[in-house]
Structure 1
């Protein structure tokens, strides 16, 4: 599928807000005053001063007259690259390159949509979910968001706000201490999806997370007879199996 031409822009960092668990909501406003065309689910690269490029999903869908971009970025104190990135963000200006990525929604399929996100993989799913919710006639939408602890759901109220008869939210925590008050679903994220497989036998599935997580989920879904061509992830492009 053809994507829009990639361009480079300089952006003002208009907001840098700590949400939870070291995850920041970053708002960028291009100095040129316009945002390059992109599709819900695509990502951009922040170009650091030394030439490195760091990729982050665009957490907002494209809308008319758009003036800003939203990212969700986790600060990693043990990573020199992460420290360098946040130093540049705190200085108030960064260069970006976009759009990137082949895992996106251009229109709304006539079938249920299943979004499976680990950690900040929620950003990509947020863009596609909001795009879908703004379109009339969408089918059932399911979001499975996995975190190590309840604090990992860094925007806990947003999926609850989306909830409706056609939007179904399933947070899943993998590591729950015995004294924790979490009463929701526990275990591996793909296990929760498999448990619910009869709800969406013919669906389009989008996965965002580490390559290990994505391929484990893909294999589990294939073992349950989900079609490979209906399972989508950026990992298939940037970390293909040999």
Structure 2
């Protein structure tokens, strides 16, 4: 991994619990869509977060879900707020987009796992705007889908992109699905054998997803998620 220093451009809330971090990206910085970086708080404390932006852009973006004033992620938000420059290690993770594949994509996110999915989605569309892609984004309620409008606009622009927001608690005026995100993936795709599948969320969710998807025909070599290296 490469050690770099970045200027903090902006720290602002997407919602009550999700923060948008924008850092100035050094020229020539390379990473793959779907990789993560580590924020170096100290040599003994390096915290990983998915990169939500693409290589070649002027800005590195992170989405941090911070639940509570003393939470693990909120400590990092406060670090960004109090420092003009931060140190990062870039980049790690083997669950990045396989650019040589043209199989249809299923991208699955729980909460701020969307930062991982967003990077892969944008890169895949840049490489092939006509590729068949399904995005399933799950949360407790619509407020958890903090870039819902961005996704609606992207789906309207790309006819082959199916955006399927899934919430556990669905208001009457929300035009999305109600239930659990993994169940909806299975309902829309009873046979998963022909897809590349990328998933980001809690480890428990990833473990359930792997067993469920393999039982419905998914090919293990075409199933990607950083959590799979730890479970």
| Deviation sequence 1:20-77 (CA, Å, 0-9, x none) | 13111111115xx4353100000001011473111110001213xx332011011232
CA distance in 2, matches of 1:173, 1:137: 27
Summarize deviations over 1:112-139 as a string: whole Å, max 9, x none. Answer: 0100000000001100100011113652
Query: SS of 2:78's equivalent?
Result: helix
Matches within 5 A, 1:95-174: 95-136=87-128, 138-163=130-155, 164-174=158-168
Matches within 5 A, 1:15-26: 15-26=10-21
* 1:233 partnered with 2:228: no
- Please give the alpha-carbon distance, in whole angstroms, between the structure 1 residues aligned to 2:178 and 2:12: 29
Q: What is the CA-CA distance between 1:87 and the residue it aligns to?
A: 2.2
Structure 1 stretches lacking a partner, 5+ long: 1-5
The answer to whether structure 1 residue 69 and structure 2 residue 60 are counterparts is yes
Do the aligned partners of 2:191 and 2:218 also contact (CA within 8 Å) in 1?
Answer: no
TM-score normalised by structure 2 residue count:
0.91
Cα distance in 2 for partners of 1:60, 1:185 equals 27
Instruction: Report the Cα offset of residue 181 of structure 1.
Output: 3.7
Match of 1:188 in 2: 180
Partner of 1:215: 207
Give the alignment's Cα RMSD to 1 decimal.
1.9
Alignment match of 1:42 (pick from 35, 59, 66): 35
SS at match of 1:157: helix
Per the alignment, residue 52 of structure 1 pairs with 45
CA distance in 1, matches of 2:117, 2:94: 14
Deviation at 1:84, TM superposition (A): 2.8
Q: Does 1:175 align with 2:166?
A: no
Q: CA deviation at 1:199?
A: 7.7
- Name whichever of 199-208 and 37-46 sits farther off: 199-208
Contact 1:112/1:203 (8 A) holds in 2: yes
Q: Is the 8 A contact 1:205 1:231 kept in 2?
A: yes
Tell me the CA shift for residue 7 of structure 1: 1.0
1:48 partner SS: strand
CA contact under 8 A between 1:112 and 1:140: conserved in structure 2?
yes
8 Å contact from structure 1 (residues 132, 138) kept in 2: no
2:213 partner SS: helix
Other-structure match for 1:88: 79
Q: Deviation digits for residues 210-234 of structure 1, max 9, x if unmatched? A: 1100111111111112222211100
What TM-score comes out, normalization by structure 1 length?
0.87
Task: Report which stretch shifted further, 193-202 or 221-230.
Answer: 193-202
